[in-house]
Amino acid sequence: MRLNMHIGMRKVKSLLSVIVAFLVWQGIRLFLPMLDVHPLFAYIYAVIEMRDTPEKTKKFGALRIRATFVGLVIGLIFIAVSAYVAPLVSIEWLRIFVEFAFILIAILCALCLAEVAKCETFCGIAAIIAVICMISHSEEDIYLYAIMRVVQTLIGIFSAMLINVLVRRKEIEKTPDENQGKG
């Protein structure tokens, strides 16, 4: 079995977009030093959103951003509802059931709203962001944590867009006159 270890421009651009995401996040940390050192979601989306052309990166990035905001809105709403309902449920197994029911309802709401917002194939991203907002947060700053995860996502997407626009492969286009001489 032969492995293909070719490092092409898409891989290089992916690495560059992760570097940009890291640098932007470190710049934000100058003003908010309590933030995590490594922006995991920025790294993830910097790699995922790297496409073979800047046009595709912009198109899919815009759809992912729309889906991300849908997920954030749904996630924040359900964080607020959970914060209100959780203290009312004193039995542990029932609280777990209620939290899981909220997650399922949030997923359904995010999928439906993303469809209405014409997020195309990124409706699932809206649901994922909503769930991330709901379950992966610190108890102290749940709203800030959810918003920071979305900010990281946006940093990753914009990093991929920036690098894909700045680092273009030079397309060699032949004029029709040059092609006529070959036959």
Residue 86 inside a domain? The answer is: yes
Among 22, 104, 50, 37, which residue's Cα sits nearest to residue 112? 104
Residue 124 inside a domain? The answer is: yes
Among 86, 90, 68, which residue's Cα sits nearest to residue 78? 86
Among 19, 2, 42, which residue's Cα sits nearest to residue 153? 42
Residue 130 inside a domain? The answer is: yes
Among 20, 13, 12, which residue's Cα sits nearest to residue 43? 20
Number of structural domains (the chain) is 1
pLDDT of residue 57: 87
Residue 57 inside a domain? The answer is: yes
Question: pLDDT tens-digit profile of 19-33?
Answer: 999 999 999 999 888
pLDDT of residue 171: 45
Token pair, residue 53, equals 């052309």
Average pLDDT for 163-178 = 61
Residue 175 inside a domain? The answer is: no
Q: Which residues of 124-162 are buried (b: 16+ CB within 10 A; e: fewer)?
A: ebbbbbbbbbbeebeeeebeebbebbbbbbbbbbbbbbb
Residue 178 inside a domain? The answer is: no
pLDDT band at 182 (very low <50, low <70, confident <90, very high): very low
Residue 104 inside a domain? The answer is: yes
For residues 77 and 95, give the distance between their C-alpha atoms in angstroms, rounded to a whole number: 18
Residue 179 inside a domain? The answer is: no
Q: Longest C-alpha distance within the chain, in Å?
A: 83
> What residue numbers bound the domain in which 90 lies?
9-169
Does pLDDT of 14 surpass 60?
yes
Question: pLDDT tens-digit profile of 94-141?
Answer: 888 888 999 999 999 999 999 999 998 999 999 998 998 888 755 667
pTM for the structure as a whole: 0.76
Residue 137 or residue 80, greater confidence: 80
Average pLDDT for 40-54 = 89
